[in-house]
Structure 1
Amino acid sequence: MLDKVVLDKLATVEQRSEELELQMADPEVAGEYSRLEGVIKEHSSLRHIVALFREYRGTIDELEDARTLIREESDRQMAALAREEIEELEGRQGEIEHDLRVALIPKDPNDQKGVIVEVRAGTGGEEAGLFAAEMYRMYTRFAQRHSWGVEVISSTETGLGSIREIIFQIDGNGAYSRLKHESGTHRVQRVPVTESSGRIHTSATTVAVLPEAEEIDVQIDPDDLEIDVFLAGGHGGQSVQKNSTAIRITHKPSGMVVQCQDERSQLKNKEKAMAVLRSRLLAQEVERQQAEISQDRKSQVGTGDRSGRVRTYNFPQDRVTDHRVGYTRHNLEAVLDGEIDDILHRLVEAEQARNLENFGA
């Protein structure tokens, strides 16, 4: 049974939902598009909780009716049917109570955003660079499976099929809520192609997932920026090489440096670099706020050393293990082809369990 504190919260949510419904029907509100959009968005966010709450009240009423029937009914057959109904209703009551507690947990305000993902080769030399390229492909294939757009912001290649660093954007509603737990060190164990003795090597790749920040999320003073323009290098073609299109932006208060040279347009490179800077500053602020809540919270990426791992990809045993939730699955080829929904689902469930515990459920 839900306690009075939770019931009072639910009643407040329902009242707010009804107020928003009245506002949506108000011609004055309907005449202001931005205001109406905000009202519709807030009402939509409450709809699921209100529906559950009303179902919960209906279930409680049905339970009371069934219990009253047992107390008053002399017919044994009718009483037996009522007991079966009570058992079914009590089971449903428990499910709704759990769903309501989860729904009331304060949501991460960044959950519905797209993401900027940074993948870097860690320890392990060329093998780490090769795995970084495979990780990039894994996230790209995952995004494609969800019909999300992917755009490379910057990349540094070190050899044939090897990547030292790649930064890319995934544009999809709710991408951050699904991918934010990917941040950390990913370890790979396999026999490199160049290893003649068949010895298994261990290398690591680091991943950082940042919520995509808009200008309204992060205010940046232009006077705090130092912008340098230089010739693009690497795989850009001769037309890129001839013009100064690459951009390096230094955010003086934080010391953050971002550069982009993948586009042939100086303006587009600046836009991409600013997008990364905003996302890094937003992530820094989120990190600061969370650190105030939990002083022992570890950094998002860690050192890139083999020991600081969140997940291990073991090729000889065709196995991937996420060490945070103790989940292991096989068919590594499918995982690297973007079939990671089952892993992400367990990480989201673990997050909900922690939040429920903190919520006092």
Structure 2
Amino acid sequence: MAENTILEKLEGLIARFEEVSTLITDPSVIADQKRYVKLTREYKELEDLMKARKEYIAMLANIKEGREILSSEDDPDMKEMAREEIAKSEDRIPELEEEIKLMLIPADPEDDKNAVLEIRGGAGGDEAAIFAGDLLRMYLKYFETKGWQCEISSCTEGSSGGYKEVICNVTGYKVYGTLKYESGVHRVQRVPATETQGRVHTSASSVAVLPEADEFDVVIQEGLIKWDTFRSGGAGGQNVNKVESGVRLRYPWTNPNTGVSEEILIECTETRDQPKNKERALGRLRTYIYDREHQKYIDDIANRRKTLVSTGDRSAKIRTYNYPQGRITDHRINYTIYNLNAFMDGDIQDCIDHLIVAENAERMKESEL
């Protein structure tokens, strides 16, 4: 990118930075928490761009000054210092340009949110459920490295192990922005534990990552919710089977995008505390409605993007785990590595980093950066 184009884009943001700087000190804005949070986030992004602009201008000035010294100065030491300063600045400018390009790409406002992770066994019966359990373990190990918290809100175990379905709430820093690349069909090729003749089978499990809905994102008429309570199942404990701590809610809802009405059914048996289970069931209800009301937005984004990295298409086969070869292949970016054991132990950051780079490259092209 020509330097004047970068400077033009940065110059165009100065007035907005000054405006936001003033707004976040306005008492009426501070009183409106939703607006204040949004503006402070924008201020931080613009502040980083202004710092980068200042450094970029300084690098250009260093090169200009160094060249003037080379053309007018006779002192060898001064000339050598000028050459070093020019070389240092010329090395820094391409790096700085890439950093600025990334900062100029509009951020997805949902990236900072926590996420709901859903894993379901697909084609392959018992083996698919076992693989769903392996995927859950892989993600739990990864969450540990990120310092994220994960709570399983509901699950249905497979008859031979693993899970037919498991739903988790994941909290931490930029959870959705990192995990959203995992949505899609994960395919496994290996000899199942249930196979008696040593044949390699292909099975699949689907992963869906949804941004956790904030309370102000979704309007729920709580008076329409029908609540039931029941005793949790599982091994008998002090009060697992004795107290009706499990909750079930039913909520009539019409999708504004399609006009289709349905009754949403959600159960939560995660804790022994009925009020906590109610709170978590409400959270899942908000996320369910949020996801469906925003599907049109997600589809529009997907149609505009040339990349398949983060389209939101949950039916797309995104990754193959080949056990005989010890191979992992991400089909969206032709990324292949041969460290399957480490990958299944949660070492997935390198793959996610490649996906982020690929998507950012496509978004730069779309933004003409």
TM-score normalised according to structure 2 size = 0.84
Structure 2 residue 285 is the aligned partner of structure 1 residue 277 = yes
Q: Distance in 1 between matches of 2:79 and 2:97?
A: 26
Distance 2:55 2:79 in 1: 24
Deviations 1:137-161 (A, max 9, x none): 1111111111111111111112353
Measured in 2, the distance between the counterparts of 1:317 and 1:31 equals: 57
**8 A Cα contact 2:302 2:312, kept in partner:** no
Counterpart residue number, 1:170: 170
Distance 1:249 1:357 in 2: 46
Per-residue CA deviations over 1:165-224 (Å, capped at 9, x if unaligned) read 00001110211111110000001111112322211011001000011111012222336x
Match of 1:305 in 2: none
> Residue type matched to 1:208 in 2?
A
Is the CA contact (8 Å cut-off) linking 1:122 and 1:203 kept in structure 2?
A: yes
In terms of mean alpha carbon deviation, does 6-15 or 321-330 score higher? 6-15
Q: Which moved more, 1:59-68 or 1:265-274?
A: 265-274
Q: Which sections of structure 1, spanning at least 5 residues, go unmatched?
A: 303-307
Does 1:222 find its partner at 2:222? yes
- Residue 6 of structure 1 deviates from its aligned partner by 4.5
Aligned residues: 354
Amino acid aligned to 1:231: F
In structure 2, the partner of 1:360 is 368
Output the CA distance in 1 between the equivalents of 2:252 and 2:29.
Answer: 41
Which SS does the other structure have where 1:252 is aligned? strand
- Provide Cα deviations, 1:82-112, integer angstroms capped at 9, x if missing partner: 4554344223212111211110111010111
Is 1:300–2:301 an aligned residue pair? Answer: no
Whether the 8 Å CA contact 1:207–1:301 is kept in 2: the answer is: yes
> Percent identity, aligned pairs only?
36
Report the AA paired with residue 71 of structure 2: R
SS in 1 for 2:116: strand
Question: Match of 1:203?
Answer: 203
Q: For 2:230, give the aligned amino acid.
A: L
Residue matched to 1:56: 56
- Structure 1 counterpart of 2:228, one-letter code: V
For 1:36 and 1:128, how far apart are their aligned partners in 2? Answer: 46
Cα separation, partners in 2 of 1:284 and 1:68, compared to 1, 3 Å = farther
Q: Show the counterpart of 2:322.
A: 314
Q: Report deviation, 1:129.
A: 0.5
Alignment-derived partner of residue 343 in structure 2: 335
Q: What's the secondary structure of 1:142's corresponding residue?
A: helix
Partner in structure 2 of residue 137 of structure 1: 137
Return closer, same or farther for 1:282/1:68 CA change in 2, 3 Å cut-off: farther
The amino acid of 1:301's aligned partner reads R
Q: Structure 2, unaligned stretches of length 5 or more?
A: 256-261
8 Å CA contact 2:245, 2:272 repeated in 1: no
Alignment-mate amino acid for residue 65 of structure 1? E
Residues 155 and 232 from structure 1, CA distance in 2 versus in 1: closer, same or farther, beyond 3 angstroms? farther
Q: By how many angstroms is 1:261 displaced?
A: 2.9
1:1-361 → structure 2 map (5 Å cutoff): 1-2=1-2, 6-18=6-18, 40-73=40-73, 82-83=82-83, 85-222=85-222, 225-232=224-231, 234-235=233-234, 237=236, 239-241=239-241, 243=244, 245-254=246-255, 255=262, 256-295=264-303, 300-302=313-315, 308-361=316-369
Cα contact 1:258–1:277 (8 A) shared by 2:
yes
SS of match in other structure, 2:13: helix
Contact 1:311–1:322 (CA<8 Å) still a contact in 2? yes
Q: For residues 210 and 82 of structure 1, what CA distance do their matches in structure 2 show? A: 53
The worse-fitting range, judged by mean Cα deviation, of 98-107 and 27-36 is 27-36
Cα distance change, pair 132–193 in 1 and its aligned pair in 2 (3 A): same
CA contact (8 A) 1:251 1:257 kept: no
Q: 2:212, 2:9 → 1: CA distance? A: 31
Greater shift, 136-145 or 73-82, is seen at 73-82
Post-superposition Cα deviations, 1:262-304, rounded to whole Å, max 9, x if no partner, equal: 33344323222221222233333443123234448865321xx
Query: Match of 2:158, SS?
Result: strand
Q: TM-score, normalised by structure 1?
A: 0.86
2:228, 2:207 → 1: CA distance?
Answer: 28
SS of residue paired to 2:254: coil
Change (3 A) 1:285 1:87: farther
Task: In structure 1, give the amino acid aligned to 2:166.
Answer: I
Report the Cα distance in structure 1 between the residues aligned to 2:105 and 2:160, rounded to whole angstroms: 47
One-letter amino acid of the structure 1 residue matched with residue 174 of structure 2: G
Going from structure 1 to structure 2, the CA distance change for 1:283 and 1:10 (only over 3 Å counts) comes to farther
- Code of the residue aligned with 2:344 in structure 1: it is L
Q: Alpha carbons of 1:55 and 1:136: their partners in 2 closer, same or farther (altered >3 Å)?
A: same
Secondary structure at 1:7 match in 2: helix
Whether contact under 8 Å (1:2, 1:97) holds in the other structure is no
